[in-house]
Amino acid sequence: MDKAPLVVVGDALLDLDLDGRAERLAPDAPVPVVDDPTERPRPGGAALAATLAAVLDRREVTLVTALARDEPGATLRRLLELAGVAVVDLGLAGPTAEKIRVRADGRSLLRLDRGSRPGGVGPLGDAGRRAIAGATAVLVADYGRGVAAEPGVRAALAERHARVPLVWDPHPKGPDPIPGARLATPNRTEAARFAAQVAGDDLAAVTARARVLAGRWRAAGVAVTLGPSGALLVQDDGAPLVVPAGAAPGGDPCGAGDRFASAAAGLLADGALPSEAVAGAVAAATAFVAANGAAAVGRQLGPPAGSGEGAAPAPAGATAIERAEALVERARAGGGTVVATGGCFDLLHAGHVATLRAARALGACLVVCLNSDDSVRRLKGQGRPLVPEADRVAVLEALDCVDVVVPFAERTPEAVLARLRPDVFAKGGDYTLAGIPEAAVLATWGGQAVILPYLEGRSTTKLMEEVARRDSR
């Protein structure tokens, strides 16, 4: 089933990471010296939420926002264009807000904010009214800079929300959500500020705050995100639903809230119940953090178009290998590591998913080289694959950790790898380096084959044996 399109409404920011090395202290102060930082711009605020829905969920996305006529605003426009996000611009009378992180070895040392004072937001015009009126779902990603408070925007949202899901990600400096939102998604700290009359910080206090906010905002549901602990959902007077998050060791949590909100809005647009949307959004946010968060998305997009670097996305109708080439070129232009893996992925199971997530965490993008049906038959016998190639591609590409799938007809994917020349080729831990035939071709351009941890006892063969054993009873 095709995914429903999404309209995102809110304040667009420009995020900039300055990534370098810190190997010494400054002679005049006990502060690290960051050598040779690389600038990586990426969409922030509502622009990040829209980008995540477009790039990771592969949705058609329209962003209703206000952009300034300055250089950071032009960069933001190009990044959104590169992500495939359609923009309705209300106009911003003031500078583009920028959040700048100075980082070394994957760790943030300092954050600088520019354009802290919001400028005036222009009125909602006909294009914005049409976008909201035609929406199948709306996400309001409010960053307190005026878009969600604009009277025309609020009137259009009030008119549409009764017919389609409305998810509101609130900000302490922004207005209250439109009454009747399907889901409001404050984080734990925001909920404490919105409902300061409730004391404590345990789950009982979080639940009480969520109930206060659901009543105040007349929201059908309030999901309080709890960082690495997942999320808590309150609906009506029933018991709260707590959805725990999986482990994401060493990940970058920047942008996790936007990933949660964009995933929840998309799932509601596709017909999920709020409880299903929250569970799916927790899983999506966890995978996002494990894959190095918003920084990885910035590397995937690469430098903005017009900067003299980077590459445009593959055109509509491009083949799988052409889409992979465009992805690899964008990742490399942004200084990212290209990761590939390969296999049959017949009857996708937990071991496959764990390996794919671990592989994606190694770099800026993950290409899955998939054995075609004929290739699987040659490797596994005439009874395989159980799942045809088109379905295996669809299932794999539905995973957040997989960027593109390239089928191949040979026994091993050396030809695909030679064309894409990834930096890393990863296989599950039931292999040894000596047993990975692709290692030799990787070495010809300086690539590295690696083995990832493997979940014991998970395999398609064992699943088939278990089904046969039960059928024979």
Nearest to 436 by CA among 328, 371, 341, 331: 341
Q: Would you state the structure tokens that stand for residue 88, as one six-digit string? A: 């309705």
**CA-to-CA distance for 229 and 226, rounded, in angstroms?**
5
- The tens-digit pLDDT sequence of the chain (473 residues) is 368 899 999 999 999 988 888 889 999 988 899 888 888 888 999 999 999 999 888 899 999 999 999 999 999 999 999 899 999 999 999 899 999 999 887 788 899 999 878 889 999 999 999 999 999 999 999 999 999 999 999 999 999 988 899 999 999 999 999 999 999 999 999 999 999 999 998 999 999 999 999 999 999 999 999 998 899 999 987 789 998 887 666 667 888 999 999 999 999 999 999 999 999 999 888 888 877 777 666 655 654 433 444 455 566 567 899 999 988 988 887 777 899 999 889 888 777 888 888 888 888 899 999 999 999 999 888 878 888 899 999 899 888 889 999 999 998 899 999 999 998 898 876 555 556 788 889 889 988 888 876 655 555 555 555 555 666 66
Quote the CA–CA distance of 298 and 51 in Å, as a whole number: 10
pLDDT of residue 299: 58
Phi, psi of 53 (to 5 degrees): -65, -35
Residue 103 has a pLDDT of 87
What CATH number is given for 6-296 in this structure?
3.40.1190.20
Dihedrals phi, psi of 159, to nearest 5 degrees: -75, -35
Query: Is residue 258 among the annotated active site residues?
Result: yes
Residue ranges, comma separated, of all CATH 3.40.50.620 domains in the chain are 320-464
Cβ contacts of 230-235, under 8 Å, gap ≥ 24: 230/282, 231/260, 231/278, 231/281, 231/282, 232/203, 232/206, 232/207, 233/274, 233/275, 233/278, 234/207, 234/210, 235/274, 235/275
Identify any residues that bridge with 8 across adjacent strands, giving them in sequence order: 63, 139
DSSP string, 50-94: HHHHHHTS---EEEEE---SSHHHHHHHHHHHHHT-EEEE--EES
Task: Measure the CA–CA gap between 45 and 254, rounded to whole angstroms.
Answer: 11
Cβ-Cβ contacts under 8 Å for 473 (sequence gap 6 or more): none
Both tokens of residue 115? 């354009």
Please give the CATH number for the structural domain made up of 320-464.
Answer: 3.40.50.620
d(CA 339, CA 425): 6
Q: Helical H runs in 32-186?
A: 46-55, 71-83, 126-133, 151-160
Residue ranges, CATH 3.40.1190.20, the chain:
6-296
The two structure tokens encoding residue 256: 């996790």
Catalytic residue among 258, 270, 373, 400: 258
The predicted model scores a pTM of 0.67
